[in-house]
Amino acid sequence: MNTLITRPLRAAWVFVLALVFLAAPAAHAQETQWRTLEPTLAPSNWSFGLKAGLANTDFYGSSSNADGTGVGFTGGAYLTYHFHPRWALQSELMYTHRTGTEDHSQVFRGSRNAEYTFGFLEVPVLIKAYLPQQQGPAAYATVGPYASMRLYEDARDANNILQTVDLDSELRRWDYGVAAGFGMESFANGRSLSFDARYNWGLANLFTDETRPEFRTRGFTVAVGIGL
């Protein structure tokens, strides 16, 4: 298997296991009363934590004749500023492994149904709105923009056309888009636990040549977070 894929996946397993280890004391506390996080927070309250999960991604654009999805790892850290009992601003620094299949035979002749693999460093800035809740985990919705920088790229096809292409010069380094989702958050023993589901809609055309077909990213991610 390509080392660009195996290395991030090995790192993903290490990251996920580390989160499970950190979350275990809170998750298995026998006499802890779980309660909503949102009503207890005062303005100017900061929180920091780690997140890890999976990303189901693909690509879209004017050349999407036979595209397919792929599954990769996403993980990183978040910083949240609670400026109101029901409102917060959350920024994240996330690594996301994006992969999918795209028909670019119009661009690279003979490269039908090519499999693309990208590693992105993403920075979303999200408004976080907590829903009214009397007790139990607090439900919330998130929405906001994100910017990402491409760390590496790889593409393969059955005819070995893309293996000879300098993708770094063909593609833009930066991507941007809009993210929206929902989640649940609770805490015990002073440590927060959260589950987050989100859809990322990329708006930038990855090709540097504007005369080529549009090539954009999108994907659905699920992640578990733990406050530190």
Q: Does residue 177 lie within any of the structural domains? A: no
When pLDDT is averaged across residues 74-85 and rounded to a whole number, the result is: 92
Q: What is the pLDDT of residue 31?
A: 34
Tokens of 115: 């499999």
**pLDDT, tens digit, for every residue of 127-162?**
999 988 767 788 999 999 999 999 998 887 767 777
> Distance between CA atoms of 175 and 22, rounded to whole angstroms?
32
Q: Is residue 192 part of a domain?
A: no
Does residue 173 lie within any of the structural domains?
Answer: no
pLDDT tens profile 3-30: 444 444 555 455 555 554 444 444 444 3
* 184 domain residue, yes or no: no
Q: Decide if 181 is inside a domain.
A: no
More confident residue, 183 or 28: 183
Residue with the larger pLDDT of the pair 179 and 65: 179
Give a yes or no: residue 82 inside a domain: yes
Residue 193 lies in a domain: no
- Does position 189 have pLDDT exceeding 80, yes or no? no
Instruction: Evaluate whether residue 85 is within a structural domain.
Output: yes
Least confident of 101-105, 194-198, 202-206: 101-105
Q: What six digits make up the tokens of 133?
A: 């809740």
Q: Which residue has the tokens 């380094």?
A: 173
Q: What angle do CA 124, 80, 136 make, to 5 degrees?
A: 115
Q: State the pLDDT confidence band at 66, using cuts at 50, 70 and 90.
A: low
The parent domain of residue 112 ranges over 3-26+38-117+130-165+200-227
Q: Extract the tokens encoding 50.
A: 């780690």
Is the pLDDT assigned to residue 100 strictly greater than 70? yes
Domains contained in the chain, number: 1
pLDDT of residue 26: 44
Task: Work out the mean pLDDT of the chain and round it to a whole number.
Answer: 79
